[in-house]
Chains A and B, each alone.
Chain A
Amino acid sequence: MNRPLVWFEIRRMARSPLPSGAAALCLGLRLAATWELAPDMSVEPVGTSGAMLLLAAAMMLAAHLATSRDGRGGMPETLGALPGRCA
């Protein structure tokens, strides 16, 4: 059951506007910050990594929202009667 569930959540995350929005924002910010500069490859990885923190934060937020679905008035009663639940 775990593998289909992982794929299901990956597909949902890929469709979520959070990661794609954050990726577009990262790219936009990097372009804006370096538009008039020649790339300095000695510092470029640091800058890119910094910008990618935004993407990582968005991914973590999407993952958190997925794991806390039931806490937001989801379907605990329905899921409680399924074999995939250990309770």
Chain B
Amino acid sequence: MTSPTTAPTSGPATATVTVRDLTKRYGRTAVLDGLTLEFGRGVTGLLGPNGAGKTTLLRCLATTLAPDGGEVRALGLDPSHPARRTELRRRLGYLPQNPGFYPHFTVFELVEYVAILKELTDRAERHREVRRVLRETGLADLAWTKARRLSGGMRQRLALAQALLGDPDLLILDEPTVGLDPEQRMRFRALVSLLGESRTVLLSTHQTEDVAALCERVVVMRDGAAVFRGTPGDLAATAAGRVWLSDRPPAGESLFWRTADGRYRTLGDRPGEAVPADPGVEDGYLLLLAGHPGARPGDGADA
């Protein structure tokens, strides 16, 4: 077990991203409050409720937002130094929460425009790269469709396509599966898990299934701090003995919901006549956020 504020999510020798005592305030509100994290290659999931500071952390790592205090090192580069920041930008791919589009651009034009700004100067090479990322995101057939005609899921894939340009060493994805249908989500998982074999991928999401399926490590944030670091299995294990199935809804203020088979899944203390159920990542996450004593902040082994 490690301390909740300084535990690395991978060994320091393999850490490609290091964040120490990171703070960011908007007015009087501390969005990041002395956050310390380390993680290395592979896919790291970032979970947390709205307002936990996930997007702010990702923006600091993606160099689009300067922190108020603390230290960030990504791929060994300090983004507070202008030359290092430019070097880092050459090696990172970023999918923001609200990517935005130029509606009159075609899919190909839009990705090519980003490719130019990513310093892919050779035209033939750039076009090859644009075609590659469109193929990988399943947009090759829509290359000459205007962005305004794309559905929400297609736009999300377009945003992912631009993030993949130049084969980045560090991929920062802010809620990438929003709007994707199940088939697209499966394709996304396959793509990201492949990328995670040789790169560092940081994925912010509200989908615990994505974390369970994709991530080697998970960080749970709340109120600008990391309250859990470990593997998805560790997070699920924090709910062991605290997940129950019953035929009737529990009395009191327990956290529960009705499942598809008509039974009630309860988190926390055992309701009467309930049988224990296998805990999942979502159970661990919900118990952690509910502040249940069975899921102590900081629990979980290092990945």
| Interface residue ranges, A against B (CB under 8 Å) | 1, 3-5, 8, 12, 69, 73-85
Contacts and interface: CB of A to CB of B under 8 A. Distances in A.
A23 to B, nearest CB: 20
B63 interface: yes
B1 interface: no
A77 B92 contact: no
Contacts of A78: 94, 96, 99-100, 114, 159, 162
B94 A81 contact: yes
B261 interface: no
Contacts of A83: 86-87, 89-90, 117-119
Interface string B54-98: 000001001110000000000000000000001101101010111
A45 to B, nearest CB: 36
A3 B118 contact: no
B97 to A, nearest CB: 8
Contacts of B112: 8
Contacts of A82: 89, 114, 117-118
Contacts, number: 70
A38 to B, nearest CB: 44
B64 A8 contact: no
A4 B98 contact: no
A85 B118 CA distance: 9
Given A8-B116, A74-B102, A81 B64 contact: yes
Contacts of A8: 112-113, 116
A4 B126 contact: yes
B96 A77 contact: yes
A37 to B, nearest CB: 40
A50 B102 CA distance: 34
6 contacts: A5-B116, A77-B99, A79-B117, A81-B92, A82-B114, A83-B119
A84 B102 contact: no
B259 interface: no
Given A1-B116, A81-B63, A81-B94, A75 B123 contact: no
B28 to A, nearest CB: 24
Nearest to A72: B102
A75 to B, nearest CB: 4
A84 B64 contact: no
Interface string B141-167: 000000000000000000100100000
A39 to B, nearest CB: 39
Given A4-B121, A77-B98, A81-B63, 14 more contacts: A1-B117, A1-B119, A1-B121, A5-B116, A8-B113, A8-B116, A74-B101, A74-B102, A75-B99, A75-B102, A77-B94, A78-B100, A79-B114, A81-B172
B282 interface: no
B302 interface: no
Contact of B64 (A69, A73, A77): A77
B109 interface: yes
Contacts of B62: 80-81
